[in-house]
Amino acid sequence: MWIRKGLAAAWIMLLVVSNASSQEAATGWSTWGNWVETCQHTCGSVVRGIQSRERNCTTTTRCTGEKIQTRMSVCNVPACPVDGGFTQWTDWTNPPCSPTCNATRVFKRFRTCTNPSPAFGGAFCSGSPMDTTTDICNNPGCIEDNWTYWEAWTPTCPATCGNSVTGMKSRTRTCNSTSGTGCQGPNNQTEVTQCKVPACTVNGSSNMVFQTPLLAALILVNLLAY
């Protein structure tokens, strides 16, 4: 049975080859070659193309009929890569301020690489998905390292009048530590200052104000000389 089938198949192939040879001999044309496709693009969803095939005239006389055949086609090509794109930035976050003086808070905003998302081997977005900026909190009554704000400077001058009177000024602050560990740093400051006092005036010996013992002695000598 298998031998019969094999002989039948061989006979069919022989007939096909024989018919093709007979056709070639009758028309002068060779058999058509394979279809060759030319596509507009190498990737995409629906890409149009043209398929063509040709045959050769095998006789010395002129063959009748077309040498080349063409037809439209839809190319079987892969999808094109899609590079990713960023969305618009979100609104800035609004973090609360710390009670510490001069505290810095960080604002943030975000974006995602989904406009569009990368696909088919496309590149991911270039750039950061997060943006930050900082701001110094303006917090009245804040505590600086558990210290209150410094009190106003208090000057101390050695004289109430005179020229270029040098004195001292000082200020204090209070530790508000509740942990019992205390605050770091001093609770007072002292600096040299130039006293803002009026010039001294002489209205009789009883109203004289002396800044130094030497000046008082000189004035006393002048008074006794009269």
pLDDT of residue 88: 97
pLDDT of residue 109: 96
Query: Closest Cα to residue 101, out of 31, 156, 205, 173?
Result: 173
Tokens representing 10? 């061989």
Tokens representing 44? 């995409």
pLDDT of residue 56: 92
Query: Closest Cα to residue 205, out of 182, 224, 187, 189?
Result: 224
Between 4 and 97, residue with greater pLDDT: 97
pLDDT per position as a tens digit, 21-65: 445 555 789 999 999 999 989 998 889 999 999 999 988 778 888
Q: How many residues does the chain have?
A: 226
Between 69 and 98, residue with greater pLDDT: 69
pLDDT at 145 > cutoff 60: no
Residue-range domains of the chain with CATH = 27-80 (2.20.100), 81-142 (2.20.100.10), 145-205 (2.20.100.10)
The stretch 122-136 carries a mean pLDDT of 94
How does residue 210 score in pLDDT terms, banded at 50, 70 and 90?
Answer: very low
What is this structure's pTM?
0.42
pLDDT at 131 > cutoff 80: yes
pLDDT per position as a tens digit, 86-108: 999 999 999 988 776 667 889 99
Query: How many other CB atoms are there within 10 angstroms of residue 55's CB atom?
Result: 19
pLDDT at 222 > cutoff 70: no
Between 22 and 122, residue with greater pLDDT: 122
